Structure 1
Amino acid sequence: MPEEKKPKKPSRQQVYTLLVEIGRKKGDGLPDKATGAALVIYASGVDEAEAVRETVAILKQADTAPLDVSGYGSLAEREEEGHDISDEERALMGRALDENSVIVAQMTPFFDEA
């Protein structure tokens, strides 16, 4: 008797927008005089907590020092709040969802003003 293929369950994954502040660490790839950086990240997860955990783990593997993570919600939550989301952002979010990945969309280094 041939085995029936079970229908694929719809993914519960969503993409979350995170802002991660990182400090300095040897080999982190930041500019020489930078004191740290802010990263805008799109990360997939079944909930925001999972997206944060995965992001922090990957950033640590990449020799960075994550200090703080702020969550801005899923795409649907951001749309409900009236956020203006560009086509480029949507494309990166779609890629994060398709690849079940963490994508750094923007990095802004911090420098001391002194």
Structure 2
Amino acid sequence: MAQQVYTLLVQVGRAADDGLPDDADGAALVCYASGVDEAEAVRETVAILKQAGLQPVEVTGHGTLDERIAEGHDIPDEERELMERALAENAVIVAQMEPLYDEDFDDED
């Protein structure tokens, strides 16, 4: 089965020496990960993030490039380039990392 690139949104909690701002409660990461299926892409992403000292707590898959286009997503060239790189290097690319603070969770009440 051919490798594909999956877009994943990963929420991480706090861990010692994670590099997040001291007052952050965690972070949200947008990752592009290659895999023969989404489950493999998730496993690889979680393993890489743990090796990097982060503590993944939740992963949400948003599909492959073709699936996202079929859903009507507008995919900028920069994002496509990162996806191509993830595929070419059989890698996990962290495209964006946003620290999360207590107030980011208050809306869920």
Same fold (TM over 0.5): yes
Is residue 111 from structure 1 mapped to residue 104 from structure 2 by the alignment? no
Shift of 1:111: 1.4
Runs (4+) off by over 2 Å: none
Matches of 2:98 and 2:50, distance apart in 1: 18
Structure 1: state its 5+ residue gaps: 1-10
Shift of 1:76: 0.8
The code of the aligned residue for 2:47 comes to A
Q: 2:64 aligns with which of 69, 74, 88?
A: 74
Shift of 1:32: 1.0
1:3 match: none
Structure 1 residues 29-68: aligned runs within 5 Å: 29-68=19-58
TM-score, scaled to structure 1: 0.88
Per-residue CA deviations over 1:22-42 (Å, capped at 9, x if unaligned) read 000001111111100000000
1:7 match: none
Matches of 1:38 and 1:98, distance apart in 2: 25
2:76 match: 86
The code of the aligned residue for 1:90 comes to R
Over aligned residue pairs, what C-alpha RMSD do you find? 1.3
> Which of the pair has more CA radius of gyration?
1
Which has the larger share of helix? 2
Query: Structure 1 vs Structure 2: percent identity of aligned residues?
Result: 71
What SS class does the counterpart of residue 27 from structure 1 fall into? coil
TM-score, scaled to structure 2: 0.92
